[in-house]
Every structure is written in C-alpha cells, then in structure tokens.
Structure 1
Amino acid sequence: AASFGTLFAKALGHIAGVQVRTIVSVGGSVAGRYGFSELLVLLLALDARVSLYREGETPLSAFLQSPRGKPFLLEKILVAPGASAGFQSLRAANNDFSLLSVCASSRESGWRVAVGARPQVAALGENAGAWLGLQPKPGDAAAARAGELAAQELRFGDDVRAGAAYRQAVCPVLVARAVMEA
C-alpha cells in the first residue's frame, strides 16, 4: 500500500472508526465480497490477485465472479506497484457506508475503472477502461465519457442508502473525478 501514496488512507479512513478498523482483516473483507467494501473497489481497480486454497493465484476479478463458498481465500493479496490511481466516493455522513465508490487506475497496459456500493459487489466498467485506452492523462471530455460508459454498462440497485437511478446519475461524475485524480 505504501507505493500508492495516500490512496488507501483516503479510501479506508472513513471506515466506521478506529475500533472497527483494528479488527477488520483484508482477507475477510475480500472473501466476504461485501457490496459496501471500498477495499474491494481499490483492489479491483489495481488488478489485484488473490491466493486461493488448492488453486493458487487468480485475478480478484475472477474470484469476485465465482460462486460463493469454495475455494476459500488465503490471506495473501498481491498488488503490483506502478499504477497511478484515484478514488472517489459519495456518502451521507463521514463514517457512513458509501452510496457509491469508484477507483480508476492507469498502468502502461491501460485503465481499469471499478465501481462499488452499487450496492452489489464492486465491478469493473470494462467499456470505460477500454475508452480511456492507453492515455496516461486523459482530458476532461475523455474522463466524462468514461463515466457515462461506466454508468451505462453497470447495474445499480436500491437499498436504504440510495436508489438505483440516483447511483446511476452520480456514477459519471465520480468516475470522471477518479480518472482526473489518477
């Protein structure tokens, strides 16, 4: 996490409070596939790999799409350094769960845009990443278009925090901001 500057602190500093942050584990957060997990948003955008019992390493994106249950996660999550990333979220109160969270990361191989708290588990906006292509620093228009593509591509749902339509309306703005921050 040190190679990503303040990215992890910015995204995870809002989690409930010190008491909760000291007992939560990275492996538990990933294995739980929680829709509200901002850690998953970061790790998914950063193209993390997870180590699974008897199956070895696999991309986090594949793990999140696999059926729950077996295989189970070992507490080993690998993130290659060298990405530039930005994180944005919208929440009703400072220590509340996000209504929507976004992480955009850029590497030499291209962009990855992850959106979480939809309220389903975090997912990649593949079309948004493809649109940004290999541009190291896209302009405002390209970032805005990536946001629109992510909002069109991903499914959003309702819960007690926000409705699907609201989340879909906010998504383009958060994606554009995360891309510009990266």
Structure 2
Amino acid sequence: MVTIKEYIAPKTIEEAYELLIARKNNLILGGCGFIKIGSRNINTAIDLCNLSLDYIVENEEEILIGADTTLRQLEINNIIKNHCGGAISQGVSYIVGVQFRNMARVGASVFSRYGFSDLLPSLLVLDAKVRLYKGGVMDLKDFLEKKYEKDILLEVILPKKDGIAVYDCLRKSSGDLPIINGAMFKGNNCEYVIAIGSRPQRAKLAEKSMEALEYGASIDKVADMVVDELHFGTNMRGSREYREEMCKVLIKRMHDKVGGYHDR
C-alpha cells in the first residue's frame, strides 16, 4: 500500500528541489507506473507537471528530451523514430500497452535505473547524456554507475550520430518484463556500441567486446566475450545460464540487423 501525505506541483525547478531535499521520504512523481509494486509512505509527492519539461526538440548537434515526456511520445515522435533507425521508439513499444506508455515518463524511467528498462539499452548505445539540476550534464553510462543522490533529472541529451541502431529483447509474452534485452549501434565508420540489460541488473556497455568487434573478431567470439565481460544473474524470469545463452543469440541477431555478418 502506498500512502501520500501531501501532493505539491511546484512552479519552479528550484522550489521542486527544495521540497525534494526537505525530508528523506519526499519523492518526485513520474508516471507512477511502478509505484504500487512496493509498500511505502511518502510525505510529500512532488509533481513536475508545471515545469515545462514535456518536449522533444532538435538542433544542429543534439536531440533534447524533457524529463516529463511520456514513453508514448518517444514511440511516435518522428524525430525519435528517424534517429539512427528508430531503436529508441522500437524499444519502448514493447512496454506493457499504450495506456501505460501514455503515463510513464522518461525522467522516471531513466532516473530510477530499472534493471528491466527497455529504454536504457538504446540510450546507452546512442551515447546519451543526462542533465541533472544539481549534478549538471554527465554521460548516461556514468550516471548509471553513480551512487544514488537526491537530484532532479531535467532532460536526456542525444548527440546526433551517423549510423544505425537496433533494439532486441526476449520476453515470455507481449507486455511482460524482458528476460534479457539489448541494443547495438553500428556507425558509418564501422564502429560498434553494444549494451545489454535485464541481466537482471541494469543495462551496461560491453566495452571490451565491442572493441574486439571493431578490430575484426567474429561475432561468435564477440558473443562469448560479452557473456564473460558482463555479470548475469538469476531471478523469477530466468536463470543465469539461460540469460547467458540468450545473450549470445541477441548479439548475433542484432549484428545481422545492423548489417553485419557472422560465421555460419
């Protein structure tokens, strides 16, 4: 059961931050999609709906995604759909249903660093950055490894890149959480970026493995390297051994989709 003592929708980001740090159990609300998973008491629930953080805009160098943007907007927005093959739009399209994606927010999905996130792998391979109110701008991969601190995510920054990215996953049924997922980017100069998530830990780059792929290692060898490089675990959706084998399948499948090849 979730109980909320007070609800406030501040008019400024400064006010929102002051409310957030005022008490330990004050909380920023996102779309509240997973708030009922646990039982908690929230003193002050802070809604960012009045802060104009609902946007997807592009300039010559970047695409900016406001923290209050919904996952449904990511799915259907033409800027996102046309960016590097539409991997971000493809990834979020797997999440539950349209009604849920109309509520779930980008900021909550990223800041919560869910291990099962269908959004994080695609953002990672596209070199996304995050802009925090206090923490400033940092690479998403660094943010995911950073110790939790109270802050407010303002926007996600996507640098424009030349290449194609794909998202892929394995799940028991449509709308279920992924057993394992991942994304791969191939640049126009044949550089590769690989991220695997739902291990069941949060998404992470396989940096040694993607470097080996760039230097001509076979995709079969690279798939084995990814399993050795990243840690896999067991939960109710799958065992460590199963995830390791399915990770190899995802790696080869994504490699084919971005225009690669592997030994038959």
With structure 1 as the length reference, what TM-score do the two structures score? 0.89
RMSD: 1.8
Structure 1 residue 68 displacement after superposition = 1.2
Q: Which of structures 1 and 2 has the larger relative contact order (alpha carbons within 8 angstroms, sep 6+)? A: 1
1:181 maps to a residue whose letter is K
Q: Which residue of 1 aligns with 2:156?
A: 76
CA distance in 2, matches of 1:10, 1:109: 22
Residues 119, 156 of structure 1: 8 Å contact kept: yes
Structure 1 unaligned regions, length at least 5: 136-140
Q: Which residue of 2 aligns with 1:138?
A: none
Can you list the C-alpha shifts for 1:103-142, whole angstroms capped at 9, x where unaligned? 011224821100001011101111221111167xxxxx72
- Select which of 231, 248, 253 maps to 1:155: 231
User: Which of structures 1 and 2 has the bigger CA Rg?
Assistant: 2
**Is structure 2 residue 202 aligned with structure 1 residue 126?**
no
Q: Which residue of 1 aligns with 2:88?
A: 8
Q: What SS does the aligned partner of 1:4 have?
A: coil
CA distance in 2, matches of 1:83, 1:49: 18
**Is structure 2 residue 249 aligned with structure 1 residue 173?**
yes
Q: What SS does the aligned partner of 1:98 have?
A: coil
Q: What SS does the aligned partner of 1:115 have?
A: strand
Q: In terms of mean alpha carbon deviation, does 82-91 or 19-28 score higher?
A: 82-91
Corresponding pairs, count: 177
- Aligned-pair identity in percent equals 34
Structure 2 unaligned regions, length at least 5: 1-79, 259-264
Can you list the C-alpha shifts for 1:26-71, whole angstroms capped at 9, x where unaligned? 1111101000101001101111111122332211000000001244
Regions of 4+ moved over 6 Å: none
Can you list the C-alpha shifts for 1:53-98, whole angstroms capped at 9, x where unaligned? 2332211000000001244421333242323112211110011111
